[in-house]
Amino acid sequence: MCGIAGIIDFNHHEDMQALLQRMLGFLHHRGPDAGGLYMDHGVGLGHARLSIIDLAGGDQPIHNEDRNVWIVYNGEVFNYPELRQELLTRGHRFYTTTDTEVIVHLYEEMGPALFEKLNGQFAFAIWDARKRHLILGRDRVGIRPLFYVHNGQRLQFASEIKALFADARIQRKLDSQTLSDIFTCWTPVDDRTPFTGVRQVPAGHYAKFSEKGIRITPYWTIPAGDTDPGERPFEDWLEEFKALILDATRIRLRADVPVGAYLSGGIDSTYTSALVKNNFNNRLCTFSVGFSDQRFDESHFQKLALESLQTEHRMTTCAENSIGAIFPDVVWHTETPILRTAPAPLFLLARLVRETNFKVVLTGEGADEIMAGYNIFKEAQVRRFWARNPLSENRPMLLQRLYPYIFAEGSERAKQYLKSFFKKDLEQTDSPIYSHLPRWHNTAQLRHFFSDALRNRTTGSKRFEERFTASLPTDFMQWPALSRAQYIEMRLFLTNYLLSSQGDRMAMAHSVEGRYPFLDYRVIELAFRMPPRYRLFGLTEKHILKTAARGVIPPELIDRPKQPYRAPISSAFVSSAPPDYMADLLSEKRLEESSYFAPRKVHQLRLKARQPNGRALSERENMALVGIISTQLLDDQFIRHFPTEPDHLHKNLKIYHQDTENRLN
């Protein structure tokens, strides 16, 4: 796993070396082991390496036999040994044993059609010196990031936005409409980012840049409409699923360094860890994070998993003050406003992994999306059932299955709030976005804290819904309702939030690579081919996964109530000893200067958060507080005080210029 950067300018042949070195400096955390540049007239490619495969010979950029196709690459192609063998039989010659060089030769064979052959998680740039064009490609679900700024005949790209801002000519400004979108659905939408003029290559797409301009092309889409209409027995689906997830796990152990695993105590990570321990690595090392606040802690379930797996285990504990202390670092790496503190414990967990001298970990992310594990899918089931008899008093009681703790508390007010929350838009079952309407309408109320200036520059949630609906596939309403909900969740939340803010960014902040067996594209395609009832059976999520896991992991972990991953929120920032940055960041002066939020409303929110019981804020108000803090931090770090130079520069940077190799010491 690595960081990549580059500049293509068809009009000017400036000396790009110093700028590219600064860009790589801002990516040093992604690739501290080595660095390299390829320089040509108007072309510069840069690479910061985290060495995982071919430790001695895999430094980049890498080229083909004729040195006229060059690549910088971030990621892993897990089926590279099989692809390499195919290419050898076709006469290609290799000078490394990397998966990177496989992509170069595959490009020679297939051009941009190569993506259909790749099974992995990647973002890469290929410069074809013969055809004078650049190919930027990103993996199917967007596990690895890839950003760019395009201005006429010039294009700059990088694994992270901060590397683009190493060029002082690029405007650093938060995009108002994207802020509004984040405060509606948690994330930027599709190719947008929080910064004006900065775009990302969408998941499952590649970009071709030449003197004719830039063209973005999809090569894969979430196959949510591909449900098999046949009556294949459940046992057949089960056996195929078990075989595929085993193989997906197996090939994700390919590395020349040890591979560990995250262990949350849930079914997803415990099952894949069990597959590794039972089939491939009897000395698996696992890692987990616990919480000092028992409302969020899952240590009991982690211990059950450990008693079963008997792995070598490391654990870190996250306290509320730890979240507040590291939150500026979290925002620096997420490069976006966030509405929850959930990335912070994962930042600490990745630090533990690195301190234990591991670079690679397997995780269970993705199972909730493809196997319908989230409550949002069950909520839609209940609401559709309820909508057939809106006056029923019994049907909304099914919500008790989803939120037993609210009903257990005995608060009639809480029960009525839950009922009224999900009754809103209840009968709009013909809406393509029916599953997400309650959540989006709820989150959009955070815009209440926007300043008048920001609100006037943006459109509201209704317009957001119209824009998103217009972007859906033409046959969307012909898909099963569950598949539609999963598609929306994967396209927005999985790609642009979970795999970014809680995935790549927190792990790579400490030079750690996460690998995701459940996001093998073969597993995704299988999940959507099977009948929806095998994903969500009534209100039982992950039906086929739970069936596969029985006899492999403890039943207590399979049958436990679903507990979403969460972390302390307002208490991390508003306490007897709040973080030092809070007073200035949310002062009336700073809020007025940045002009994103209304100072009076923010002040009232902070006063409410300081009430003695420590839990005065509602869930929505907690989200508002985190969103305001993270936006203000983003403004401070990227707009006001962006560093003129990175903290680190690569030493012994290998530089290829045309066909001559030099070293810069």
Domain regions of the chain by residue span: 2-176+188-220, 234-371+487-559, 572-640
296 forms beta bridges with none
∠ CA 159-165-167, rounded to 5°: 115
**388 vs 560, more confident:** 388
Under a CB-based contact definition with an 8 Å cutoff, are residues 654 and 28 in contact? no
For residue 663, what pLDDT is reported? 40
End-to-end CA distance of the chain: give it in Å, rounded. Answer: 24
- pLDDT of 660 above 60: no
Ranges 342-356, 466-480, 487-501, 562-576: which has the least confidence: 562-576
For residue 610, what pLDDT is reported? 84
**411 vs 190, more confident:** 190
**404 vs 487, more confident:** 487
Question: Under the phi-then-psi rule, with left for phi > 0, alpha for psi from -120 to 50, and beta for the rest, what region is 192?
Answer: beta
- pLDDT of 522 above 80: yes
Q: Quick one: which H or E segment has residue 275?
A: helix 267-279
d(CA 511, CA 525): 30
Under a CB-based contact definition with an 8 Å cutoff, are residues 352 and 642 in contact? no
> Which pTM was predicted?
0.96
For residue 282, what pLDDT is reported? 87
For residue 231, what pLDDT is reported? 84
d(CA 504, CA 507): 5
Q: Rounded mean pLDDT of 624-629?
A: 97
Q: Which of 242, 237, 219 is nearest to 227 (CA)?
A: 237
Confidence of residue 405 (pLDDT cuts 50, 70, 90): confident
d(CA 231, CA 234): 9
The hierarchical CATH code for the domain 234-371+487-559 is 3.40.50.620
Q: Token pair for residue 392? A: 């029923």
- pLDDT of 353 above 60: yes
For residue 657, what pLDDT is reported? 85
Strands (E), 235-307: 259-262, 285-291
- pLDDT of 258 above 90: yes
Q: Token pair for residue 533? A: 């009832």
CATH 3.40.630.10 fits 2-176+188-220, yes or no: no
∠ CA 25-27-33, rounded to 5°: 85
Largest CA distance in the chain: 77
Q: Rounded mean pLDDT of 656-661?
A: 65
Percent of the chain with pLDDT over 90: 84
CA atoms in the 13 A half-sphere facing the CB of 8: 25
For residue 661, what pLDDT is reported? 44
For residue 230, what pLDDT is reported? 82
Q: What is the pLDDT of residues 263-314, one digit of tens each?
A: 999 999 999 999 999 999 889 999 999 988 778 888 899 999 999 999 999 9
Ranges 30-44, 125-139, 281-295, 368-382: which has the least confidence: 281-295
- pLDDT of 642 above 60: yes
Q: What is the pLDDT of residues 193-227, one digit of tens each?
A: 999 999 999 999 999 999 999 999 999 999 999 99
- pLDDT of 413 above 70: yes
Q: Rounded mean pLDDT of 416-437?
A: 93
Q: Which residues contact 537 (CB under 8 A, 6 or more apart)?
A: 543
Q: What is the pLDDT of residues 147-173, one digit of tens each?
A: 999 999 999 999 999 999 999 999 999
In 354-369, which positions are buried (b, 16+ CB within 10 angstroms) versus exposed (e)? eeeebbbbbbbbbbbb
For residue 408, what pLDDT is reported? 64
Average pLDDT, the chain: 94
Q: What is the pLDDT of residues 88-129, one digit of tens each?
A: 999 999 999 999 999 999 999 999 999 999 999 999 999 999
- pLDDT of 391 above 60: yes
